[in-house]
Amino acid sequence: MKTSRKKLTIAAPRGFCAGVDRAVRIVEVALEKFGVPVYVRHEIVHNKTVVDGLAAQGAIFVDELDDVPTDAPVVFSAHGVARAVVDEAERRNMIAVDATCPLVTKVHIETRRHADNHRHILLIGHAGHPEVEGTMGQVNPDEVTLIETVDDARHVTPPEGVDLAFATQTTLSVDDTAEIISVLQFRFPDISGPRGEDICYATTNRQKAVKDIAGAVDLMLVIGAENSSNSKRLVEVAKLAGVKAAFLIADKDAIDWSLIDEADHIGLSAGASAPETLVEDVVAALRQRYQIDVSEHGKIRETVNFKLPAILAS
Protein backbone atom coordinates (compact mmCIF):
# COMPACT_ATOMS: atom_id res chain seq x y z
CA MET A 1 0.00 0.00 0.00
CA LYS A 2 1.31 3.45 -0.98
CA THR A 3 1.25 5.45 2.22
CA SER A 4 3.85 8.08 1.43
CA ARG A 5 2.81 11.10 -0.64
CA LYS A 6 5.38 13.16 -2.53
CA LYS A 7 5.50 16.06 -4.96
CA LEU A 8 7.36 15.70 -8.24
CA THR A 9 8.21 18.77 -10.32
CA ILE A 10 9.54 18.05 -13.79
CA ALA A 11 11.65 20.76 -15.41
CA ALA A 12 10.82 22.03 -18.88
CA PRO A 13 12.53 22.06 -21.26
CA ARG A 14 14.52 18.88 -20.72
CA GLY A 15 15.93 15.99 -22.70
CA PHE A 16 16.68 15.87 -26.41
CA CYS A 17 17.82 19.09 -28.05
CA ALA A 18 17.60 19.77 -31.79
CA GLY A 19 21.23 18.78 -32.36
CA VAL A 20 20.83 15.42 -30.62
CA ASP A 21 17.52 14.73 -32.35
CA ARG A 22 19.18 15.50 -35.72
CA ALA A 23 22.17 13.24 -34.98
CA VAL A 24 19.95 10.29 -34.05
CA ARG A 25 17.80 10.81 -37.14
CA ILE A 26 20.96 10.96 -39.29
CA VAL A 27 21.96 7.45 -38.18
CA GLU A 28 18.42 6.14 -38.69
CA VAL A 29 18.12 7.68 -42.17
CA ALA A 30 21.62 6.48 -43.09
CA LEU A 31 20.56 2.93 -42.19
CA GLU A 32 17.52 3.30 -44.42
CA LYS A 33 19.51 4.78 -47.31
CA PHE A 34 22.67 2.67 -47.23
CA GLY A 35 21.45 -0.46 -45.48
CA VAL A 36 23.09 -2.38 -42.63
CA PRO A 37 25.67 -1.82 -41.32
CA VAL A 38 26.35 1.89 -40.90
CA TYR A 39 29.44 2.70 -38.87
CA VAL A 40 29.48 5.53 -36.33
CA ARG A 41 32.75 7.04 -35.12
CA HIS A 42 32.40 7.34 -31.33
CA GLU A 43 29.04 7.46 -29.54
CA ILE A 44 26.63 9.44 -31.70
CA VAL A 45 25.51 11.15 -28.46
CA HIS A 46 26.41 10.45 -24.86
CA ASN A 47 23.58 8.11 -23.87
CA LYS A 48 23.72 4.32 -23.59
CA THR A 49 20.00 3.87 -24.25
CA VAL A 50 20.27 5.79 -27.51
CA VAL A 51 23.46 4.03 -28.59
CA ASP A 52 22.09 0.58 -27.76
CA GLY A 53 18.88 1.34 -29.66
CA LEU A 54 20.76 2.36 -32.79
CA ALA A 55 23.08 -0.64 -32.48
CA ALA A 56 20.01 -2.89 -32.44
CA GLN A 57 18.99 -1.32 -35.76
CA GLY A 58 22.37 -2.10 -37.33
CA ALA A 59 24.70 0.75 -36.38
CA ILE A 60 28.25 -0.27 -35.45
CA PHE A 61 30.09 2.09 -33.12
CA VAL A 62 33.86 2.32 -33.52
CA ASP A 63 36.69 4.39 -32.10
CA GLU A 64 38.56 5.36 -35.26
CA LEU A 65 38.29 5.38 -39.05
CA ASP A 66 40.73 2.46 -39.17
CA ASP A 67 37.91 0.34 -37.77
CA VAL A 68 35.62 1.16 -40.73
CA PRO A 69 35.75 -0.73 -44.05
CA THR A 70 36.57 1.77 -46.81
CA ASP A 71 33.40 0.97 -48.75
CA ALA A 72 31.09 1.34 -45.74
CA PRO A 73 29.31 4.56 -44.71
CA VAL A 74 30.56 6.27 -41.55
CA VAL A 75 28.75 8.88 -39.44
CA PHE A 76 30.68 11.46 -37.41
CA SER A 77 29.16 12.05 -33.97
CA ALA A 78 27.19 15.10 -32.85
CA HIS A 79 30.22 16.33 -30.89
CA GLY A 80 32.22 17.03 -34.05
CA VAL A 81 35.60 15.82 -35.24
CA ALA A 82 39.00 17.30 -35.99
CA ARG A 83 39.78 18.41 -39.54
CA ALA A 84 42.31 15.59 -39.78
CA VAL A 85 39.49 13.04 -39.45
CA VAL A 86 37.47 14.67 -42.24
CA ASP A 87 40.58 14.90 -44.44
CA GLU A 88 41.39 11.22 -43.85
CA ALA A 89 37.87 10.16 -44.77
CA GLU A 90 38.11 12.19 -47.98
CA ARG A 91 41.52 10.70 -48.78
CA ARG A 92 40.03 7.21 -48.49
CA ASN A 93 36.97 8.21 -50.56
CA MET A 94 34.74 7.07 -47.71
CA ILE A 95 31.00 7.72 -47.58
CA ALA A 96 31.11 10.15 -44.65
CA VAL A 97 28.01 11.65 -43.08
CA ASP A 98 28.63 14.54 -40.69
CA ALA A 99 26.21 14.57 -37.73
CA THR A 100 28.06 17.40 -35.95
CA CYS A 101 25.56 19.67 -34.22
CA PRO A 102 25.28 22.87 -36.29
CA LEU A 103 25.94 24.92 -33.16
CA VAL A 104 29.24 23.06 -32.67
CA THR A 105 30.02 23.61 -36.35
CA LYS A 106 29.52 27.34 -35.70
CA VAL A 107 32.27 27.20 -33.05
CA HIS A 108 34.51 25.32 -35.50
CA ILE A 109 34.02 28.05 -38.10
CA GLU A 110 34.74 30.78 -35.55
CA THR A 111 37.88 29.00 -34.41
CA ARG A 112 39.22 28.65 -37.95
CA ARG A 113 38.35 32.29 -38.65
CA HIS A 114 40.37 33.44 -35.64
CA ALA A 115 43.34 31.34 -36.74
CA ASP A 116 43.09 32.72 -40.28
CA ASN A 117 43.24 36.19 -38.74
CA HIS A 118 46.39 35.19 -36.82
CA ARG A 119 44.70 35.19 -33.43
CA HIS A 120 45.67 32.69 -30.74
CA ILE A 121 42.52 31.00 -29.43
CA LEU A 122 41.79 30.43 -25.75
CA LEU A 123 39.23 27.62 -25.79
CA ILE A 124 37.10 27.28 -22.65
CA GLY A 125 36.15 23.65 -22.14
CA HIS A 126 36.90 20.29 -20.54
CA ALA A 127 39.99 18.33 -21.54
CA GLY A 128 39.26 15.01 -23.19
CA HIS A 129 35.69 15.81 -24.17
CA PRO A 130 35.07 14.87 -27.82
CA GLU A 131 33.69 18.32 -28.63
CA VAL A 132 36.81 20.00 -27.26
CA GLU A 133 39.07 17.61 -29.15
CA GLY A 134 37.15 18.31 -32.34
CA THR A 135 37.28 22.08 -31.88
CA MET A 136 40.97 22.13 -31.00
CA GLY A 137 41.54 19.94 -34.04
CA GLN A 138 40.25 22.67 -36.34
CA VAL A 139 43.56 24.54 -36.04
CA ASN A 140 47.23 23.79 -35.48
CA PRO A 141 48.16 22.77 -31.90
CA ASP A 142 50.22 25.95 -31.37
CA GLU A 143 47.22 28.13 -32.29
CA VAL A 144 44.97 27.15 -29.37
CA THR A 145 45.21 26.85 -25.58
CA LEU A 146 42.63 25.06 -23.42
CA ILE A 147 41.18 26.92 -20.44
CA GLU A 148 39.30 24.68 -17.99
CA THR A 149 38.95 26.81 -14.86
CA VAL A 150 38.94 30.35 -13.54
CA ASP A 151 42.42 29.63 -12.17
CA ASP A 152 43.56 28.68 -15.67
CA ALA A 153 42.18 31.99 -16.94
CA ARG A 154 44.06 33.89 -14.24
CA HIS A 155 47.41 32.28 -15.02
CA VAL A 156 47.40 31.43 -18.72
CA THR A 157 50.39 32.85 -20.58
CA PRO A 158 49.54 33.13 -24.26
CA PRO A 159 52.22 33.60 -26.92
CA GLU A 160 53.64 37.12 -26.99
CA GLY A 161 52.96 39.52 -29.79
CA VAL A 162 49.77 37.91 -31.11
CA ASP A 163 46.13 38.92 -30.95
CA LEU A 164 43.83 36.76 -28.82
CA ALA A 165 40.35 35.31 -29.17
CA PHE A 166 38.21 33.02 -27.04
CA ALA A 167 35.65 30.35 -27.82
CA THR A 168 33.76 27.92 -25.61
CA GLN A 169 32.49 24.37 -25.56
CA THR A 170 28.73 24.50 -26.15
CA THR A 171 27.66 22.47 -23.09
CA LEU A 172 29.27 24.35 -20.21
CA SER A 173 27.77 25.97 -17.14
CA VAL A 174 26.57 29.42 -18.17
CA ASP A 175 27.59 31.00 -14.86
CA ASP A 176 31.00 29.33 -14.61
CA THR A 177 31.83 30.24 -18.19
CA ALA A 178 30.78 33.86 -17.66
CA GLU A 179 33.25 34.09 -14.77
CA ILE A 180 36.09 32.68 -16.86
CA ILE A 181 35.29 35.05 -19.72
CA SER A 182 35.26 38.00 -17.30
CA VAL A 183 38.75 37.11 -16.10
CA LEU A 184 40.05 36.78 -19.65
CA GLN A 185 38.49 40.08 -20.71
CA PHE A 186 39.95 41.83 -17.66
CA ARG A 187 43.43 40.45 -18.33
CA PHE A 188 43.26 40.87 -22.10
CA PRO A 189 40.96 43.83 -22.88
CA ASP A 190 41.41 43.47 -26.64
CA ILE A 191 40.51 39.76 -26.77
CA SER A 192 38.00 38.89 -29.48
CA GLY A 193 34.90 36.88 -28.63
CA PRO A 194 32.29 35.01 -30.64
CA ARG A 195 29.76 36.93 -32.70
CA GLY A 196 27.04 35.18 -30.72
CA GLU A 197 26.88 33.05 -27.59
CA ASP A 198 28.84 29.80 -27.96
CA ILE A 199 26.96 27.96 -25.20
CA CYS A 200 23.96 26.54 -27.03
CA TYR A 201 20.37 27.59 -26.44
CA ALA A 202 19.41 24.11 -25.20
CA THR A 203 22.13 24.06 -22.54
CA THR A 204 21.10 27.54 -21.38
CA ASN A 205 17.39 26.67 -21.32
CA ARG A 206 17.88 23.43 -19.36
CA GLN A 207 20.08 25.14 -16.80
CA LYS A 208 17.54 27.93 -16.32
CA ALA A 209 14.72 25.40 -15.89
CA VAL A 210 16.70 23.57 -13.19
CA LYS A 211 17.58 26.83 -11.43
CA ASP A 212 13.92 27.82 -11.37
CA ILE A 213 12.82 24.74 -9.43
CA ALA A 214 15.97 24.00 -7.39
CA GLY A 215 15.04 26.26 -4.50
CA ALA A 216 11.67 24.59 -3.99
CA VAL A 217 12.68 20.91 -4.00
CA ASP A 218 14.48 18.69 -1.48
CA LEU A 219 16.14 16.50 -4.08
CA MET A 220 17.00 16.98 -7.76
CA LEU A 221 17.46 14.02 -10.08
CA VAL A 222 19.07 14.60 -13.48
CA ILE A 223 18.86 11.82 -16.04
CA GLY A 224 22.01 11.57 -18.12
CA ALA A 225 25.27 9.75 -18.72
CA GLU A 226 28.46 10.16 -16.69
CA ASN A 227 30.28 11.29 -19.83
CA SER A 228 27.58 13.82 -20.73
CA SER A 229 28.94 17.31 -20.06
CA ASN A 230 25.60 19.12 -20.21
CA SER A 231 23.97 16.59 -17.85
CA LYS A 232 26.70 16.93 -15.24
CA ARG A 233 26.44 20.70 -15.47
CA LEU A 234 22.72 20.45 -14.60
CA VAL A 235 23.62 18.70 -11.34
CA GLU A 236 26.14 21.43 -10.53
CA VAL A 237 23.67 24.18 -11.38
CA ALA A 238 21.03 22.63 -9.12
CA LYS A 239 23.42 22.52 -6.18
CA LEU A 240 24.53 26.10 -6.70
CA ALA A 241 20.90 27.19 -6.96
CA GLY A 242 20.15 25.90 -3.47
CA VAL A 243 18.83 22.34 -3.71
CA LYS A 244 19.78 20.24 -0.69
CA ALA A 245 20.93 17.28 -2.81
CA ALA A 246 21.29 16.62 -6.54
CA PHE A 247 22.34 13.46 -8.34
CA LEU A 248 22.96 12.23 -11.85
CA ILE A 249 21.22 8.96 -12.72
CA ALA A 250 21.46 6.94 -15.92
CA ASP A 251 17.90 5.62 -15.69
CA LYS A 252 15.25 4.37 -13.25
CA ASP A 253 17.46 1.45 -12.20
CA ALA A 254 20.05 3.88 -10.82
CA ILE A 255 17.67 5.54 -8.36
CA ASP A 256 18.78 5.43 -4.72
CA TRP A 257 15.41 4.85 -3.07
CA SER A 258 16.72 5.74 0.37
CA LEU A 259 17.18 9.31 -0.91
CA ILE A 260 13.67 9.38 -2.32
CA ASP A 261 12.26 8.12 1.00
CA GLU A 262 13.76 11.13 2.77
CA ALA A 263 12.52 13.72 0.26
CA ASP A 264 9.08 15.32 0.23
CA HIS A 265 9.50 17.30 -2.99
CA ILE A 266 11.57 15.90 -5.87
CA GLY A 267 12.77 17.76 -8.96
CA LEU A 268 13.46 15.92 -12.21
CA SER A 269 15.28 16.95 -15.36
CA ALA A 270 17.21 15.27 -18.17
CA GLY A 271 20.30 16.17 -20.12
CA ALA A 272 20.13 17.07 -23.80
CA SER A 273 21.08 13.55 -24.92
CA ALA A 274 18.58 11.71 -22.68
CA PRO A 275 15.38 10.54 -24.42
CA GLU A 276 11.99 11.35 -22.91
CA THR A 277 11.31 7.64 -22.45
CA LEU A 278 13.84 7.63 -19.59
CA VAL A 279 11.93 10.45 -17.89
CA GLU A 280 8.69 8.52 -18.29
CA ASP A 281 10.34 5.41 -16.81
CA VAL A 282 11.47 7.34 -13.73
CA VAL A 283 8.01 8.82 -13.21
CA ALA A 284 6.44 5.37 -13.54
CA ALA A 285 8.91 3.91 -11.04
CA LEU A 286 8.07 6.66 -8.54
CA ARG A 287 4.34 6.06 -9.01
CA GLN A 288 4.80 2.37 -8.19
CA ARG A 289 6.22 3.20 -4.77
CA TYR A 290 4.52 6.42 -3.71
CA GLN A 291 1.48 8.59 -4.16
CA ILE A 292 2.88 11.24 -6.50
CA ASP A 293 1.54 14.70 -7.30
CA VAL A 294 3.21 15.52 -10.64
CA SER A 295 3.59 18.96 -12.17
CA GLU A 296 5.73 20.47 -14.90
CA HIS A 297 7.48 23.81 -14.47
CA GLY A 298 8.86 25.95 -17.26
CA LYS A 299 7.39 28.10 -20.00
CA ILE A 300 10.16 27.97 -22.62
CA ARG A 301 9.18 25.93 -25.65
CA GLU A 302 11.91 25.02 -28.10
CA THR A 303 11.04 25.05 -31.81
CA VAL A 304 14.53 24.77 -33.34
CA ASN A 305 14.86 22.17 -36.08
CA PHE A 306 18.04 21.37 -38.02
CA LYS A 307 18.03 19.95 -41.54
CA LEU A 308 19.69 16.64 -42.36
CA PRO A 309 22.91 16.65 -44.43
CA ALA A 310 22.46 16.84 -48.20
CA ILE A 311 24.10 13.41 -48.63
CA LEU A 312 21.01 11.82 -47.05
CA ALA A 313 18.58 13.49 -49.42
CA SER A 314 16.55 10.89 -51.30
Contact (Cβ atoms closer than 8 angstroms) between residue 82 and residue 133: yes
**Per-residue DSSP letters for 169-215?**
-TTS-HHHHHHHHHHHHHH-TT-B--SS-SS-HHHHHHHHHHHHHHT
Q: Angle at CA 29, nearest 5°, toward 70 and 78?
A: 75
- Catalytic residue flag (residue 28): no
The active-site residue out of 64, 88, 110, 131 is 131
**Per-residue DSSP letters for 209-243?**
HHHHHHTT-SEEEEE--TT-HHHHHHHHHHHHTT-
Residue numbers annotated as active site? 131
